[in-house]
A and B are shown apart, each in its own frame.
Chain A
């Protein structure tokens, strides 16, 4: 998976990479859920549609991950597959395959309280796209 963990005294962050903006946003979603659970055992049985808006790329990234995190924290859904249906600097629309949390089948690794603006970065160029996101855990 195209991400690395960043050390932070209180919490943790992710360095995510993608060939383009689309794959960066998909990889960020997968990286976050990879911290929450063992995504390999997920099947992606149900479908959810997730939209997000932002003032710029970093704001869009934070709001997108916020919406996905709420699938877990608010609806007890774990994300397996993400497909971006449309993406611009200011909004994103996606179709997400999820499983309902089953404590007998799913391991929860870490609690994420929030996706923060702390040192958030989203940058794209010829060499690809990258993002840095910190989480409150």
Chain B
């Protein structure tokens, strides 16, 4: 693999072998070098071999070794002649993040910090296979799959304006519950309104620094303000949809007449019956995830109200935005001067639409789409805004988080003899968790420095820094 530096933040992986396009990786000199990058770079090259890929196989600075696509991978395929791949979306379909602001400031929250984090932990079901208080009949579950966040709002979990502040208004079109397996439906019945495990979390934070006051004002952010981040996805429903279609497409792809470098890249032509079925099933999972995060935010809002003894009007828990990290989207992009319909796969990457984009609500159209980049639980999270350069270079995409540097096993080894929650407490961060190895696996040392990742996308111009948040309380699954 030959890697050439294009400029300070971009590297080109030359087109070799069966690659149809080159690879382009956003990274610093230090990030790109080292043995850890060999495997994800191979995956960038593998994605470049898929039919219909346009311009380049892209990777963001939080790139790491995934399955099929690298995590942090972005690839757009022609809307007529390209493919769609469950491996380009991942198991946790529409894993994503939402950020809400409150009227509270840090000094009001500190005295009740422990009560707040304990109450969030007690009221938000979390952990492996966790089930919530919402039990759906299959017919009601199908409404969730079809309507996404709107279903949640109609049930009283939020308000109409939340939908304006959610990517795709919290509902992907063409969701068809009839193409989803009974297994997926069964798994989805009990898990709505649950956080899950692993890297999923709720984080109470404080706006520590504002870089772009105009955008911050539009997003309703000010320094010292207390915020809430929810990171979760489509739970077992989405995992099952991915698994069902991977199993199916590994067989289907054998009939298509091209060799796959990795079975995990199994795919179908986007306009084929099989491609449409996957897209419509994936949309169901995306909608389930949006409804899930909408419910989790609403339960959190009730917890805040109770702990601080204030009503919703005074709490002003407002959704800034909700973005997805793992998705394939049909979008229009300008390619060689012409507007074309493409299917953009973002696997561990975030949409980053610029000012003026028609997909944005009226309030955000003047400044661009809010982008939410959570870091590890001990450092910081960032709010960015989309740019025109992202439309030109990355199909309107940017990074999604810090990206792991240590495997879970290596993180556990490194944490031996240390008390991670005490270390975090010393930094003013209270943590509550359910999985017995969650804290060790998710310790701050396991991730890249979020500031460095954000510096790359900011420096490269594919998104711009708006504000930095500092965590003060975290609930992990």
Tell me if A9 and B263 are in contact (CB < 8 A): no
Binds A, one of B351-359, B406-414, B449-457: B406-414
Asked whether B132 is an interface residue with its Cβ less than 8 Å from the other chain, the reply is no
Asked whether B67 is an interface residue with its Cβ less than 8 Å from the other chain, the reply is yes
Q: How far is the CB of A57 from chain B (nearest CB, A)?
A: 13
Give residues of chain B (15-34) contacting chain A, Cβ–Cβ below 8 Å.
none
Tell me if A136 and B91 are in contact (CB < 8 A): yes
Q: How far is the CA of A117 from the CA of B183 in the complex (A)?
A: 20
Asked whether B187 is an interface residue with its Cβ less than 8 Å from the other chain, the reply is yes
Q: Which residues from B are CB-within-8-Å of A101? A: 129
Q: How far is the CB of B198 from chain A (nearest CB, A)?
A: 6
Interface size of B in residues (CB-CB distance below 8 Å)? 43
Q: Chain B, 31-75, contact with A by CB distance < 8 Å: what is the 0/1 string?
A: 000001000000000000000000000000000111110010000
Tell me if B263 and A117 are in contact (CB < 8 A): yes
B236 interface neighbour in A55, A59, A73, A115, Cβ under 8 Å: A73
Tell me if A7 and B187 are in contact (CB < 8 A): no
Q: Which residues from B are CB-within-8-Å of A8? A: 65, 407
Q: Chain A, 85-129, contact with B by CB distance < 8 Å: what is the 0/1 string?
A: 000000000000000010000011111011111111000000000
Q: Which residues from B are CB-within-8-Å of A111? A: 128-129, 196-198, 435
Q: How far is the CA of A124 from the CA of B263 in the complex (A)?
A: 21
Asked whether B222 is an interface residue with its Cβ less than 8 Å from the other chain, the reply is no
Q: Chain B, 178-199, contact with A by CB distance < 8 Å: what is the 0/1 string?
A: 0000010011000000001110
B247 interface neighbour in A63, A76, A119, A137, Cβ under 8 Å: A63
Tell me if A59 and B250 are in contact (CB < 8 A): yes
A10 interface neighbour in B65, B127, B254, Cβ under 8 Å: B65
Q: How far is the CA of A134 from the CA of B87 in the complex (A)?
A: 14
Tell me if A117 and B129 are in contact (CB < 8 A): no
CB closest residue in chain A, given B70: A10
Q: Which residues from A are CB-within-8-Å of B127? A: 108
Q: Which residues from A are CB-within-8-Å of B64? A: 9-10
Q: Chain A, 1-28, contact with B by CB distance < 8 Å: what is the 0/1 string?
A: 0000101111110000000000000000
Tell me if A114 and B436 are in contact (CB < 8 A): no
Tell me if A10 and B263 are in contact (CB < 8 A): no
Tell me if B66 and A10 are in contact (CB < 8 A): yes
B437 interface neighbour in A7, A55, A110, A134, Cβ under 8 Å: A110
Q: How far is the CA of A11 from the CA of B240 in the complex (A)?
A: 18
Tell me if A76 and B91 are in contact (CB < 8 A): no
Asked whether B239 is an interface residue with its Cβ less than 8 Å from the other chain, the reply is yes
Q: Which residues from A are CB-within-8-Å of B78? A: none
B409 interface neighbour in A7, A59, A134, Cβ under 8 Å: A7
Tell me if B68 and A137 are in contact (CB < 8 A): no
A117 interface neighbour in B36, B128, B246, Cβ under 8 Å: B246
B183 interface neighbour in A10, A70, A113, A137, Cβ under 8 Å: A70
Asked whether A66 is an interface residue with its Cβ less than 8 Å from the other chain, the reply is yes
Q: How far is the CA of A59 from the CA of B253 in the complex (A)?
A: 14
Tell me if B437 and A109 are in contact (CB < 8 A): yes
Q: Which residues from B are CB-within-8-Å of A117? A: 67, 246, 250, 262-264, 266
Q: Which residues from B are CB-within-8-Å of A10? A: 64-67, 71, 404, 407
Q: How far is the CB of B145 from chain A (nearest CB, A)?
A: 17
Q: How far is the CA of A109 from the CA of B129 in the complex (A)?
A: 11
Q: Which residues from A are CB-within-8-Å of B246? A: 114, 117
Sort A-B residue pairs by CB-CB distance and give the 4 closest, nearest first: A117-B263, A113-B91, A111-B128, A118-B67
Taking A11-B67, A118-B262 as given, write out 19 further A-B residue pairs in contact, using a Cβ cutoff of 8 Å, ordered by the A residue number. A9-B404, A9-B405, A9-B406, A12-B408, A12-B409, A63-B247, A70-B183, A73-B239, A73-B240, A74-B240, A108-B128, A110-B437, A116-B67, A116-B68, A117-B263, A117-B264, A118-B68, A120-B263, A136-B91
